[in-house]
Structure 1
């Protein structure tokens, strides 16, 4: 009873989340979404909590705010009467019980973790050197650091030391009887450890994406990858795309700090998982390399991102940044060196530099195209010894957002679709269908084009026009709320117990996304003075590039029509670039050179880009899309 009085006095409300059976206390007036994140029950909010997508549906009972205009627009009267609410809009006014259904949860998605491999000379910046030093005497009155420096000089190291390390040095040397291992990075002593620990030398490479984070634990003595793990980027709670997050940083008083704090939490969680997996001490991680789009690396560094949201979209810095582990806020050795690889421009980041580092060569005269398909699509074209790059704001449709039944590639997502006289599909982990992810959407649209359900403009047949289609296909054309819809999975085949469909609006969203990517590719061709017929290959980078069927990507016009054998998925090439920069100083220097060599093409400055975009929103005819191997 006393606890209830305290809750009333302090303005707190008790919220219980099902089926997790978790209770939290939050201030009255808190949205269900914020309470859910506090409870560790993440809710999908592709629109960043703006109340425009309707995907954060929960079942809630108790003392709640009245439905606002967004809820009344996106939810039917029947749904509201049954207690269905939008987590981003409904506020908790008193004790409540909330059920977060599977379709609305932020689920850890299936992420491809292996990248490309190639030969590289292992030459890490961090060395661990065991030395046995003479003890000080009345005759040998050298300072403790000078004593250590003399021992390291035998290894051609002109040692330097910072104040934090110098403060700890005397007690470490004396406790270890002057038998120690010095951890040295480019002549700087960053740690000193008792005994001989030279074998234990680790680093972590990160690829920070807008949606996912991939982390790799590397033995930098050998260059071997020991462990890999990945996590959702928790900034998704503040918006699916970069523009939403930049807007959040601009409008919220602590917006940038909140974005950075959530990112650091995720990075440190990944580090803990990596080291625990291998029984490694976190203090034995002495070097970290990071790649990501310009916005993500700026947030990590705590740099102003508001200039990225207004023309001419200039970053605070493009060059490589290096800071100490303690300064970075990472749970590694406090003196560890954290290297954020260089960006190219406001929306062409070090992730693309990582892609180029791992799959392209400076001396290559061939014509090659590397495409990282995603919310912020980035691409690099190599032609006649020059490198061109640009970014295209494709939006989150490829991640399943802005698609009515869209979701990321997590358990239960329809990830492949085959349409002939009937429809077949597969789901991630073979679980009952919860929704459809980007690769499934691309497959479905490609099949709908071939089946005659869609024409080249993207218009979907209405049910009364389906008479000439095979019966199973015709029956799947139904009247939806806003026009025709095509049923991918019937209610009985889904975990939702309702049909999973693609609507006319969904198709338009895909057209916008693929038109943006393809128009950017064509603009690069024009600037470089080449075309797709000269392409040696197309390298599809990133996890998404590994999951989409090449034939479907060509059929919808996402990428140029070339021989299928020349379209090569290259895994997480950005992460592979981060690993290369971790195990080799030469590769990190090469990344710096590449970033300065890449010629950034600002699409907004090319007047014909808009015309190209309008043209590439259309789907190619089946004849145009016909390629060897299809």
Structure 2
């Protein structure tokens, strides 16, 4: 028996089998719901509000819902069963998409150099005295003798010319790949796709004008099978054929939904999308390509491909023009992927003589260090804390997420995404908060949240001490006390430990790479932080908790979504695809697990 579920505010309806979960229905509908614990109910990130439907059931095995939330219709999407027609309200992801759009920046002076061109032509009518073939008349109208035709396109031209003489021709490298009746000469688009472990960003560009027409950002639907790459590889290994296809198709289907949204919102027809460029970490790229990523989970962690992979977009399942081409960019190593090579060309990190540090901080932390004519890279298992996934009140950067914290004599001041009441805290917010807690002495150098008694002795302001609460001898710090049944937003001792583990992995990786190229902190000329985390965290907080080397703050720069920007550059100019291929082969990968000093550096970096 089928039941109908409507997701709001997206206003997407779908008929599903009775008894399935809200999360399962959301996956089928292409609606973004965080499901990091693979449906066990342990993370509590998939809260939704059931506006109408069966509210007699409430499966909350780990106590992630307050009594007030239950009364107001909140349920966990991964455990709530659909027993009748329902209306489900989810977190509005538009704020996330808008933030991602703002992070796309092409370097100053960049100019598109498209491989395609579209020509609006008028073909002379054929007569008894000049009974010329269709292909010849098209060549003459274009003024080019040496062009060739795809056979499907020649069929389309024949049909169009029976009715009219005006048409638009699309050419790639001297070959006609598409024909349309009328003038569509400016309708030439491409997709740049940044496949992150947590977030996927799909950008649609006009290939002729270089204009960014639209951006869609969404939670990677593969997260329902694990928050990190190792979890997803493990999932594939349970059933290599079936589970690999589940991960791949979930991602492809959601990307195709973005294509249809672009069509609806901006009038961009899928048949006018001719080029696709994809970047991502090595695991994401491998799964996207439909290849088994299992070998990336065991030594020596060798990737299936390092050079870029290309083919017809249709072979990958992407909705686009019949002859659209797709390119997956070059990787550096098993756990340093094409998102990093894309970021490198965006920031022009090609002068290896200067001491420069490039960091892409997310679920995985990738680091590139240059200096003394060398370039080295590594990947660190930073974990999901940077994305807010492993944090008790953590959430993605959607409306209501605390993204900045200031502690003072007067108490706690914060800023939220969307400037509304807090409902959680995102990755940049948690690290900013920890930085502030360390600064005022609420968290000591070992990472312990001190009790109210100890804070009184340290003369910490009473307005801050009042935010401490202790349960069974363990202290938490409350950032926001909910009103009218709203849930408190707080930082737990476990959250602090998660931050320590994540920041220690990054800091230790940086130390090892500095030794490899032979430079000191003082010799670092520039630090470039990529990703949304880097754009929104304060440099002062990052230095205070020990993620970044302590250098002049003016030498620390945010690159925004460098991976997405790099993918866009490769889409708009094939020259940059060649640059990526060359750059990837020049960078030496460092396997931190085999470095004898890594554990010592890691333990040292645990302290604040």
Assess same fold via TM > 0.5: yes
Counterparts of 1:141 and 1:22, CA distance in 2: 54
Q: 2:512 aligns with which of 503, 523, 544?
A: 523
Question: What is the deviation of 1:237?
Answer: 2.6
Name the SS of the counterpart of 2:276 in structure 1.
strand
Where does residue 388 of structure 1 map in the other structure? 376
Residues 422-470 of structure 1, C-alpha deviations (whole Å, 9 max, x = no match) = 2211111111110111111111111111111111110111233222222
Q: 5+ residue gaps in structure 1?
A: 1-6, 620-630
Where does residue 36 of structure 2 map in the other structure? 46
Counterparts of 1:132 and 1:15, CA distance in 2: 51
Matched, 1:221 2:208: yes
Where does residue 428 of structure 2 map in the other structure? 439
Matched, 1:508 2:501: no
**2:352–2:375 Cα contact (<8 Å) kept:** no
Q: 2:269 aligns with which of 259, 278, 281?
A: 281
**2:42–2:61 Cα contact (<8 Å) kept:** no
**1:44–1:106 Cα contact (<8 Å) kept:** no
Q: 1:538 aligns with which of 505, 527, 537?
A: 527
Name the SS of the counterpart of 1:222 in structure 2.
coil
Q: 1:483 aligns with which of 442, 453, 474?
A: 474
Q: CA RMSD in A?
A: 3.5
Where does residue 4 of structure 1 map in the other structure? none
Counterparts of 1:277 and 1:84, CA distance in 2: 31
Where does residue 179 of structure 2 map in the other structure? 192
Name the SS of the counterpart of 1:524 in structure 2.
helix
Question: What is the deviation of 1:172?
Answer: 4.4
Counterparts of 2:379 and 2:319, CA distance in 1: 32
**1:63–1:95 Cα contact (<8 Å) kept:** no
Name the SS of the counterpart of 2:422 in structure 1.
coil
Question: What is the deviation of 1:567?
Answer: 0.4
Counterparts of 1:175 and 1:303, CA distance in 2: 46
Name the SS of the counterpart of 1:231 in structure 2.
strand
**1:353–1:591 Cα contact (<8 Å) kept:** yes
Q: Structure 1 residues 50 and 139, CA, compared in 2 at 3 Å: closer, same or farther? A: farther
Q: Structure 1 residues 85 and 433, CA, compared in 2 at 3 Å: closer, same or farther? A: closer
**1:43–1:100 Cα contact (<8 Å) kept:** no
Name the SS of the counterpart of 1:249 in structure 2.
helix
Decide which moves more: 12-21 or 189-198. Answer: 12-21
**1:343–1:595 Cα contact (<8 Å) kept:** yes
Give the alignment of 1:92-491 within 5 angstroms. Answer: 95=84, 109=96, 111-113=99-101, 114-129=104-119, 158-165=146-153, 167-172=155-160, 174-177=162-165, 180-194=167-181, 197-252=184-239, 254-363=242-351, 365-421=353-409, 422-468=411-457, 469-480=460-471, 483-491=474-482
The number of aligned residues is 598
Q: Structure 1 residues 73 and 268, CA, compared in 2 at 3 Å: closer, same or farther? A: closer
Name the SS of the counterpart of 1:466 in structure 2.
helix
Q: Structure 1 residues 364 and 387, CA, compared in 2 at 3 Å: closer, same or farther? A: closer
Q: Structure 1 residues 323 and 146, CA, compared in 2 at 3 Å: closer, same or farther? A: farther
Q: 5+ residue gaps in structure 2?
A: none
> TM-score, normalised to structure 2's length?
0.87
Counterparts of 2:16 and 2:269, CA distance in 1: 36
Question: What is the deviation of 1:503?
Answer: 0.9
Q: Structure 1 residues 444 and 135, CA, compared in 2 at 3 Å: closer, same or farther? A: same
Counterparts of 1:72 and 1:231, CA distance in 2: 27
> TM-score, normalised to structure 1's length?
0.84
Where does residue 30 of structure 1 map in the other structure? 20
Question: What is the deviation of 1:577?
Answer: 1.0
Name the SS of the counterpart of 1:467 in structure 2.
helix
Question: What is the deviation of 1:410?
Answer: 0.8
Name the SS of the counterpart of 1:213 in structure 2.
strand
**2:480–2:489 Cα contact (<8 Å) kept:** yes
Residues 210-253 of structure 1, C-alpha deviations (whole Å, 9 max, x = no match) = 22222333232232333434333232333222222222333356
Name the SS of the counterpart of 2:292 in structure 1.
coil
Counterparts of 1:255 and 1:181, CA distance in 2: 43
Residues 95-132 of structure 1, C-alpha deviations (whole Å, 9 max, x = no match) = 59797686xx8786253323242223432111234566
Q: Structure 1 residues 90 and 579, CA, compared in 2 at 3 Å: closer, same or farther? A: closer
Name the SS of the counterpart of 1:205 in structure 2.
strand
